[in-house]
Chain A
Amino acid sequence: MFDFAGLLSGFQVALSPVNLLWCFIGCALGTAVGVLPGLGPAATIALLLPISMKMGSPVTAIILMSGIFYGAMYGGSTTSILLNMPGEAASVVTCIDGYQMAKKGRAGAALGVAAIGSFIAGTVGVIGLTMMAPPLAEFALSFGPPEYFSLTVLGLLLATYLAGASPLKGLAMAILGLILGSVGLDPLSGAVRFDFGIPDLQSNIDFVTLAMGLFGVGEILYTLEGSEAASILTTTIKNVFPTMADLARSGWAMVRGSFIGFGVGILPGGGAVLSSLISYAIERKCSKHPEEFGHGAIEGVAGPEAANNSAASSSFIPLLTLGIPGNASTAMIFAALLIQGVTPGPFLLKEHPQVFWGVVAAMYLGNVMLLILNLPLVGMWAQLLKVPYAFMAPMIMILTLVGVYSVNNSVFDIWVMLVMGVFGYMARKLKFDLGPLLLAFVLGPIMERSLRQALLMSHGSFNIFVTRPISGVLLGIAVLFVLGNLWAARRGAKQA
């Protein structure tokens, strides 16, 4: 059911001058982050977490961060098309045909179709979020500890298998994240865990410290290894408005991409990257001219760009209704909500409707802002690529060092962040995906609390997880998913 009253109240909140301003700042910052290679939305949101704590209003903080997240999806296509270098992971696929279109002098049409497709898909995504979230939140009210445990297990498994190249390494990172999440005070018994006699470790590792270390410091160290000197493609961007022929050819690709992205984005780990890959594959199959793919097919830009934007919107559904973030960026937003004293989940809509509907309404507005920012102003964003990374790196580093200190006024936190930064750097070198680690760190306390509460309810019997229907189904899906992947891997190994 469409809750018009809720949505209207959300617009009242989102249309306040302060929230409109921060929505614009978030969208602009997100676009910039998407354009600039090396700094993704997750890292940017992590850098802004300390600042968001001082904002006072959870709605404003989340509007800013959401703007960064879906703004990056818009901006990522710019460098993909102009430089054959994805500004954001979800725009990798756009490089394939977008850059070819630019080489043929059609950069403007590619950028235009990407922006329009993103707008349509973003709108579809937000409408879907508006319609699906309230009934899902209602359903989630029937969840108890066993259901939450099973849901977190399923969510982590999906995120691990779907997001990274190596499920084995992803799973190891997820387990490590769960272990890191248990450092400090046990919330149920009050026992101190894994402090090794260090008083500062008796309080839990701060999420901001971990996130900024892994994604901020780690990213900078990794980038410092090489000197990527990208030159802007020497082409003039003329006429960003696609022709009627372009729109006729790419229209259905945008629609298909929107729905593909929406469906895949709901899954933890599904997200923008996977949805854009699936969309590209489907567009190639559906196209009347599949031979053009890889050589500048406009559907190869429209579909994936629509998919990644729609996925960005739908990934808010499990976050806001179930309290389960599906990727690193929504995990940051989850943490930001907790910092502001708002617990995402089925009670969010009941206890903080202004936060929920304010964020949803801001997403509608943000979509319009992003279309304006990305269509006529795309040339301005392309100029950002001229800023030397030599100056950006120390600025980002200062933001992490100063920002993490500002959270708890603790020098120890800075040291922890640097250690995490080295870990993040080495993990990237060794091709260990950090997304599952961050997700597990966030979900770990929920998982443990639910497990122990469920076992208390059942007097120590694990049967409770299979005898309760919803929990049983969720665990069953998790088991089937793992077995399916193992069977597929074994079959692939035999054929090889």
Chain B
Amino acid sequence: MKSWQRMAGLALLIVSGVVIQQSIWVLRLLDAGQPGSGFMPFGLGVILAVLSLLIIFKNLGPDEKPVPFWPSRAWLRPLIALIIMGAYVVAFDDLGAVTSVVILVSSWLFVLEKKSVVIALGTGLATGLVVYVVFEVLLMTPFPRGILF
């Protein structure tokens, strides 16, 4: 896990670098002698840089007992879930909110949870109905209509 902690530290160091750069070059540290819009972000960037270096140095060296970060392809299900959610967002405007919900829930249950087509589709349709009633009818959220509904 130490290598992953070092990578996390490195990621935070990069973030701090970007923040410091933006604070100095794009924003203003001082504005007519007073703290400008870049003043606090600059300070935060410096503190974050120090902390991320400490995280990196604290995790130098090999692990005493190496533990896989993702044992037994544990990354697969979260990745599939993210792909399904990403597809939902892409299709959201074109297919409409309720239709997208039905498709998301059905594909989630069918692909990810290995449920039968009947159960997946039935649950999807039920969820779509609940979303329609709660959000469109009761809360009057202006969802995109899409091509189907």
Contacts and interface: CB of A to CB of B under 8 A. Distances in A.
Q: Do they bind each other? A: yes
Interface stretch (A6-14, A101-109, A447-455): A447-455
A418 B78 CA distance: 12
Nearest to A414: B89
Given A175-B48, A398-B131, 18 more contacts: A51-B139, A168-B54, A172-B51, A172-B55, A175-B47, A191-B36, A191-B37, A194-B22, A217-B85, A394-B105, A394-B109, A395-B105, A398-B104, A398-B105, A406-B135, A406-B141, A430-B5, A432-B8
B82 interface: yes
B39 to A, nearest CB: 7
A440 B89 CA distance: 29
A399 to B, nearest CB: 9
Interface of B: 1, 4-5, 8, 12, 15, 19, 22, 27-28, 31, 33-41, 44-45, 47-48, 51-52, 54-55, 58, 69-70, 74-75, 77-78, 81-82, 85-86, 88-89, 92-93, 97, 101, 104-105, 108-109, 112-113, 115, 123, 127, 131, 135, 139-143
Interface in A364-420: 390-391, 393-395, 397-398, 401-402, 405-406, 409, 411, 414-415, 418
B69 A220 contact: no
Given A221-B82, A425-B78, A393 B108 contact: yes
B148 to A, nearest CB: 17
14 contacts: A191-B36, A194-B41, A221-B78, A390-B115, A394-B105, A397-B85, A398-B104, A409-B141, A409-B142, A414-B92, A418-B86, A429-B4, A451-B40, A452-B39
B97 A452 contact: no
Contacts, number: 144
Contact of B104 (A220, A397, A426): A397
The SS class assigned to the B binding surface is helix
A224 interface: yes
A30 B31 CA distance: 48
A343 B5 CA distance: 39
A188 interface: yes
A178 B81 contact: no
A402 B52 contact: no
Given A225-B77, A430-B4, A451-B40, A411 B109 contact: no
Contacts of B54: 168
Given A193-B22, A394-B104, A395-B127, A168 B58 contact: yes
A176 B74 contact: no
Interface in A95-116: none
A480 interface: no
B97 to A, nearest CB: 7
Given A390-B109, A397-B108, A425-B78, A452 B35 contact: yes
Contact of A390 (B34, B44, B82, B113): B113
Contact of B37 (A189, A222, A430): A189
Given A182-B41, A398-B127, A455 B105 contact: no
Given A193-B37, A394-B105, A430-B5, A422 B82 contact: yes
The SS class assigned to the A binding surface is helix
Interface residues of A, number: 54
Interface string A203-239: 0000000000000010011101110000000000000
Contacts of B40: 178, 182, 447-448, 451-452
B122 to A, nearest CB: 11
Interface string A276-306: 0000000000000000000000000000000
A381 to B, nearest CB: 22
Contact of B34 (A217, A422, A452): A452
Contacts of B89: 401, 411, 414-415, 418
A486 interface: no
Contacts of A484: none
A448 B39 CA distance: 9
A355 B118 CA distance: 48
Nearest to A430: B8
A367 to B, nearest CB: 29
A171 B12 CA distance: 12
A36 to B, nearest CB: 17
A205 B102 CA distance: 29
A225 B112 CA distance: 11
